[in-house]
Amino acid sequence: MAKKGGATLAEDAPWRVSSGRPVPKISRSPVLTISQNPETDYAISVMKHPNPVGGGFAMEAVLESAGPECVVPGQVTPLRLLGVKVWPVEVDLKFLEPVGKELKMLGKFMDNAVELMNKSFIDR
């Protein structure tokens, strides 16, 4: 059976076809940062210990699930938009600074043009 339509994706746009599975991006930023002192060092060693209760570091351990209502200190709390929880994403807008400067210069130019037109009407 003959194919109808254009070329396949690989023939049409070969740069869009991946050779294998895409590699997921993993964020290396820490979820929670704490200052280092003897108490936090001890707490981290207890958390990393394979059996803190059996090792005598603790009397009992409580495990809580981190559900959607869990808020980690230092983490941005989610916003509710149209009934859906959304975490705000930080975007660095430094690349837009030159555009802002050009827009300010264009605004000044337009203000000067309006002033010049107003002066010409006042002089009549």
> What totals of helices (H) and strands (E) does the chain contain, helices first?
3, 2
The structure's pTM equals 0.28
Q: Give the helix ranges, DSSP H, for the chain.
A: 9-12, 38-48, 97-123
| Residues 45-96 pLDDT 10s | 877 888 777 777 777 767 666 666 666 666 667 778 787 877 777 777 888 8
Query: pLDDT band for position 1 (50/70/90)?
Result: very low
